[in-house]
Homo-oligomer: A and B are copies of this chain.
């Protein structure tokens, strides 16, 4: 089942601990698949908030939206398991970027799930893809330490 897992090319610089809730667990006794995306979104928010951007972020009027997610579920997550999400920008395109995220057990470092998210910058006027703002591009390159 590991064939879909997405390899990281660079070291992860951002780690986000996740607090599990009782209702994250479904009838199978595992964290429900849909909840993994709540974790990944939480870590995305932290990733972007941790960048040094010379601009205000309006979380409720985003220009950069999620276009595609590709997530492989490798090992189930159980109640009270300590987990964290590692996040990196794996690709920085002209109008889009790809975040790579790993959900791991905080203690054993076991890889639970790996998710690539393509985010696209939209022009608020036309709602069409537009070049990523330079302040964001610069902030990501500065944070990740490579193009």
Contacts and interface: CB of A to CB of B under 8 A. Distances in A.
A38 interface: yes
Given A26-B26, A33-B37, A69 B70 contact: yes
Nearest to A118: B4
Interface residues on A, range: 35 or more
A126 to B, nearest CB: 12
Contact of A29 (B39, B60, B69): B60
B33 A69 contact: yes
B22 A42 contact: yes
A54 interface: no
Interface of A: 1, 4, 17-19, 21-23, 25-29, 32-35, 37-39, 41-42, 45, 59-62, 65-73, 79, 118, 120, 129
